[in-house]
């Protein structure tokens, strides 16, 4: 009888434990996203922007998808450091077993991580790095949800030529994206009959823009075209433009990096009237952008501002969630990339799709800086629809 009692207790324990064992076996591991970005140093704004957009996205869409808890792991390159990005990507895929690599504010860092994405067959979502098609061609597992500089520059050159600007002097930062912007503007402007009367490249470190602007003014062009990275460099350029009294005598046209929505109020009145081209504005009128801006303000306060990097991060997170849903949480890199290539996103910036090379196709807007309700915004007034990188 004692043996029967013991057997009965064991049987009851097994029966009661069975649902718990089954539940543990059915539970899926976390979906891990490794974000490599610049969280300290001169480009720390990029890291802050991507993290804030991830936080807002997960608050709005939840931290679970396809039955898997989403975990985001951040790695800081501290600036343009392709070797650090390569090591961090290797650690994320081999030790942390991430399902996706993402982030990459700067082109060299995306280039550094690309071979790891290929070797490990890990989908890699670029949320900013904006050099030409060379980035996505570095790995069959890269998809870019952000933009390319030629993509947003060529429409500005076309607009300038169509609106009475016949001669231009170009001023760009002396690094890869600056060279891309310079080449794209010159190619598109000359194709429309415009003439380039001079070009100069300013150093990335501590540039003093005054002499370059005066050199450009001495060439007496109809306009100066400028590209510098968003953030403090753009602020410095426009301050120099205003302080030297060039606003009334020399027209300036730029890509939207310089009038980054996050920094626009800091730039001040010198930016008023500036014509720029870009793929996102905080003032873009659509239900998707209204929802995005509202969600961001609800988390970070009524004075918080959104920008193009945050919008791309929002879309990149949405892409990874949708891939996980369609694959029922089982991330296969080749299937994931096929899903990404076929996506059509109703983005805060407008309609977004992807070309055969896994690069973004989107509207590019010509904008004018205006004051609305006491704040400065990039107000869109002309649209170039479904723009690809012009190098393709």
pLDDT greater at residue 9 or residue 227: 227
Tell me the β-bridge partners of 382. Answer: 366
> Of 60, 84, 72, 77, which is closest to residue 30 (Cα–Cα)?
72
- Listed range (32-41, 77-86, 208-217, 354-363) with the worst mean pLDDT: 208-217
71 within 8 A of 94, measured Cβ to Cβ: no
* Average pLDDT rounded to a whole number, residues 74-78: 97
Question: Is the per-residue pLDDT at 93 higher than 50?
Answer: yes
Q: How far apart are CA 44 and CA 59, in angstroms?
A: 23
Query: Which domains, ranges and CATH numbers included, belong to the chain?
Result: 31-147+285-358 (3.40.50.2300), 150-278+365-387 (3.40.50.2300)
Distance in angstroms between the alpha carbons of the first and the last residue of the chain: 83
The Cα 300–Cα 296 span in angstroms is: 6
pLDDT band of 261, cuts 50, 70, 90? very high
- Write out pLDDT tens, residues 272-283: 999 999 999 999
The residues, ordered by sequence, that sit 6+ positions from 234 with a Cβ below 8 Å of its Cβ are 228, 257, 258, 259, 260, 263, 267
- Locate 110 and state its tokens: 């995306």
Residue 205: which pLDDT band, with cuts at 50, 70 and 90? confident
User: Rounded to whole angstroms, how far apart are CA atoms 266 and 37?
Assistant: 24
Helix (H) or strand (E) holding 363: strand 360-372
pTM: 0.90
pLDDT category at 392 given cuts 50, 70, 90 is low
- Work out the mean pLDDT of the chain and round it to a whole number: 91
At residue 17, does pLDDT exceed 80?
A: no
Q: Quote the CA–CA distance of 95 and 73 in Å, as a whole number.
A: 12
Pair of tokens at residue 78: 């501290």
Parallel, antiparallel or unpaired: strands 251-255 and 223-227: parallel
171 token code pair: 């001023």
**The pLDDT of residue 4:** 52
Burial of 89 (0-12, 13-18, 19+ CB in 10 A): buried
DSSP bridge partners of 277: 255, 366
pLDDT computed for residue 25 by the predictor:
43
Q: Quick one: tokens of 291? A: 């929802």
CA–CA distance, 253 with 259 (Å, rounded to integer) = 11
pLDDT exceeds 70 at position 7 = no
- Output the pLDDT for position 1: 45
pLDDT tens for residues 311-342?
Answer: 999 999 999 999 999 999 999 999 999 999 99
Max Cα–Cα distance, the chain, nearest Å: 108
Identity of the highest mean pLDDT range in 12-16, 27-31, 45-49, 161-165? 161-165
Overall average pLDDT of the 39-67 stretch:
95
State the pLDDT at residue 331. 97
Task: Report DSSP state, residue 30.
Answer: P
Helix, strand and coil content of the chain, in percent to the nearest 5, comes to 45, 25, 30
366: left (phi over 0), alpha (psi -120 to 50) or beta: beta
357 phi, psi to nearest 5 deg: -95, 10
Distance between CA atoms of residues 392 and 390, nearest Å: 5
Confidence at 2, pLDDT banded by 50, 70, 90: low
Quick one: pLDDT band at residue 133, thresholds 50, 70, 90? low
């Amino acid at each position: 009888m004692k043996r029967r009692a013991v057997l009965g207790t064991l049987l009851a324990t097994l029966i009661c434990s069975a649902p718990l064992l089954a539940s543990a076996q059915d539970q899926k591991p976390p979906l891990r996203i490794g974000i490599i970005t610049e969280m300290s140093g001169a480009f720390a704004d990029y890291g802050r922007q991507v993290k804030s957009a991830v936080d807002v996205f997960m608050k709005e869409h939840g931290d679970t998808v396809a039955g898997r808890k989403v975990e985001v792991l951040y790695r800081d390159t501290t600036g343009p450091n392709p070797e650090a990005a390569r090591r961090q990507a290797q650690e994320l895929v081999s030790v942390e077993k991430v399902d996706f690599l993402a982030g990459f504010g700067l082109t060299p860092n995306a280039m550094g991580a690309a071979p790891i994405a290929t070797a490990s067959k890990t989908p890699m979502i670029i949320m900013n790095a904006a050099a030409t098609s060379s980035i996505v061609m570095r790995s069959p597992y890269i998809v870019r949800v952000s933009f390319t500089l030629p993509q947003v520059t060529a429409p500005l050159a076309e607009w300038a030529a169509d609106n009475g600007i016949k001669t231009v002097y170009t001023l760009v930062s002396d690094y890869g994206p600056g060279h891309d912007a310079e080449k794209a503007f010159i190619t598109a402007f000359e194709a429309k009959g415009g003439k380039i009367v001079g070009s100069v490249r300013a150093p990335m470190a501590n540039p003093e823009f005054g002499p370059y602007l005066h050199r450009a003014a001495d060439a007496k062009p109809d306009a100066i075209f400028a590209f510098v990275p968003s953030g403090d460099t753009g602020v410095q350029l426009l301050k120099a433009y205003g302080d030297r009294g060039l606003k009334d005598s020399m027209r300036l046209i730029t890509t939207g990096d310089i009038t980054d929505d996050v920094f626009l109020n800091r730039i001040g009145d010198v930016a008023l009237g500036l014509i720029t081209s870009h793929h996102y504005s905080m003032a873009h009128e659509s239900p998707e952008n209204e929802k995005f801006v509202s969600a961001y303000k609800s988390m970070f306060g009524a004075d918080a501002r959104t920008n193009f990097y945050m919008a791309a991060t929002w879309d990149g997170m949405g892409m990874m969630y949708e891939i996980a849903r369609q694959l029922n949480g089982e991330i296969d890199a080749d299937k994931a990339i096929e899903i990404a290539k076929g996506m059509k996103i109703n983005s805060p910036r407008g309609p977004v799709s992807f070309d055969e090379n896994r690069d973004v196709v989107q509207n590019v807007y010509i904008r004018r800086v205006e004051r609305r309700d006491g704040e400065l915004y990039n107000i869109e007034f002309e649209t170039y629809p479904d723009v690809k990188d012009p190098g393709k």
